[in-house]
């Protein structure tokens, strides 16, 4: 059984969109999307530097656009499950038929702008923890008022909160954690600090007309498959202020018999997690169009009938 996944913020690198725009029709599609959301996706995906594409308001729509291009180039496949990490959930909502491409890009544009504004309201951040047992780490985070914003499985936890909380935590790491590495992000995503962004997204979501998923859509909230489009959108809205439980998503993949996983562009992050947490599951990351043929072969071998 094939799982098709989309990565989240941080997966982008300067120029990563360039080879995808060479595919037939891709540049025209990106131009239409850019006009719809008033953001030059081609510029940011080909010419902008690392600092420019780190901007939350830019990175998020850029990632969704890249994921949609890569999935379209992959061609018709039949995954048993679709899912995305953080902003990748919006990409996955298109895979599942919940949102059309333009609606998804408009929603993610609102999301990125709202989260950037919320992040600017206070000095907050995120740190990746190297090592540690979740049963030890999670109570320790709570002591410092921090949120496990990403519980990614394979022993990977990302802590989020104020810069003061993160600094204090770094001075008193729990047993087994070798280091807390500050991430180059604008703020404490997936925490209460993003509550203002939830309000903005609620307004945007009210204008959507979601369809029910045509594929099994597994949610970051709890790793559960969501049956209705209305609930998918509701979870997309609340997700910005709640932890990403990618560990639970991967548990669902395993429980449902996943045998292969393909990660759309810019692939790599989720594939690496799956290699550690899902032994025996074949994985493939779409980084450039050169990866498409191998992905198509894998999809043909593992897609649902």
3-state secondary structure the chain: CEEEEECCCCCCCCCCCHHHHCCCCHHHHHHHHHHHHCCCHHHHHHCCCHHHHHCHHHHHHHHHHHHHHHHHHHCCCCCCEEEECCCHHHHHHHHCCCCCHHHHHHHHHHHHHHHHHHHCCCCEEEEEEEECCHHHHHHHHHHCCCEEEEEEECCEEEEEEEHHHHHHHHHCCCCCEEEEEECCCCCCCCCHHHHHHHHHHHHHHCCCCCCCCCCEEECCCCCCEECCHHHHHHHHHHHCCCCECHHHHHHHHHHCCCCEEEECCCCCHHHHHHHHHCCCCEEEECCCHHHHHHHHHHHHHHCCC
Per the structure block, which two tokens stand in for 23?
């595919």
Please state the rounded mean pLDDT for residues 69-94.
Answer: 97
Region 252-258: mean pLDDT is 97
154 — pLDDT class (breaks 50, 70, 90): confident
pTM, entire model: 0.95
Residue 41 pLDDT exceeds 70: yes
- Band (pLDDT 50/70/90 cuts) for residue 157 is very high
pLDDT value, residue 221: 96
On the question of pLDDT at 142 being above 80, the answer is yes
* Average pLDDT estimate for 122-130: 93
Q: Residue ranges per domain, the chain? A: 2-119+191-302, 125-182
Once rounded to an integer, what is the mean pLDDT over residues 219-223? Answer: 97
pLDDT of residue 10: 87
Average pLDDT taken over every residue of the chain: 95
Q: Is the pLDDT of residue 186 over 90?
A: no
Higher pLDDT, 226 or 10: 226
pLDDT, mean of residues 288-299 = 97
pLDDT confidence of residue 304: 63
2-119+191-302 CATH fold: Malonyl-Coenzyme A Acyl Carrier Protein; domain 2 (3.40.366)
Catalytic residue, chosen from 34, 85, 86, 140, is 86
Averaged pLDDT, 168-180: 93
Domain 125-182 has CATH 3.40.640.10: no
Q: Please report the pLDDT score of residue 195 as a whole number.
A: 94
> Among 34, 127, 140, 190, which one carries the catalytic annotation?
190
Strand 124-131, strand 225-226: pairing = unpaired
Let me know if 86 is a catalytic residue: yes
Kindly tell me if the per-residue pLDDT of 251 is higher than 90.
yes
State the average pLDDT over residues 132-143.
93
Q: What is the pLDDT of residue 183?
A: 87
* 232 has a pLDDT exceeding 60: yes
């Amino acid at each position: 059984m094939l799982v098709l996944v989309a990565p989240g913020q941080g997966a982008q690198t300067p120029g990563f969109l360039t080879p995808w725009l060479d595919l037939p029709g891709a540049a025209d599609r990106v131009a239409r999307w850019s006009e719809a959301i008033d953001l030059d996706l081609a510029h940011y995906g080909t010419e902008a530097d690392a600092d420019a594409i780190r901007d939350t308001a830019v990175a998020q729509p850029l990632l969704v656009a890249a994921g949609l291009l890569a999935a379209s180039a992959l061609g018709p496949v039949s995954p048993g499950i679709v899912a995305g990490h953080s902003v990748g959930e919006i990409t996955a909502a298109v895979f599942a038929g919940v949102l059309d491409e333009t609606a998804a890009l408009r929603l993610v544009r609102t999301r990125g702008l709202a989260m950037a504004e919320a992040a600017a309201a206070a000095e907050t951040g995120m740190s990746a923890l190297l090592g540690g047992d979740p049963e030890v780490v999670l109570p320790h985070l709570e002591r410092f008022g921090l949120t496990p914003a990403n519980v990614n499985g394979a022993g990977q936890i990302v802590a989020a909160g104020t810069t003061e909380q993160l600094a204090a935590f770094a001075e008193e790491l729990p047993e087994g954690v070798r280091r807390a590495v500050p991430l180059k992000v604008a703020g404490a995503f997936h925490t209460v600090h993003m509550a203002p962004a939830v309000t903005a997204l609620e307004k945007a979501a009210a204008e959507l007309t979601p369809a029910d998923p045509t594929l099994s859509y597994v949610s970051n909230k709890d790793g559960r498959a969501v049956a209705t489009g209305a609930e998918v959108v509701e979870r997309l809205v609340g997700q910005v202020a709640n932890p990403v439980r990618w560990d639970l998503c991967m548990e669902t993949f395993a429980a449902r018999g996943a045998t292969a996983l393909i990660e759309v562009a810019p692939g790599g992050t989720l594939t690496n997690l799956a290699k550690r947490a899902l032994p025996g599951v074949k994985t493939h990351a779409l980084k450039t169009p050169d990866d498409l043929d191998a992905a198509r072969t894998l999809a043909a071998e593992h897609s649902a009938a």
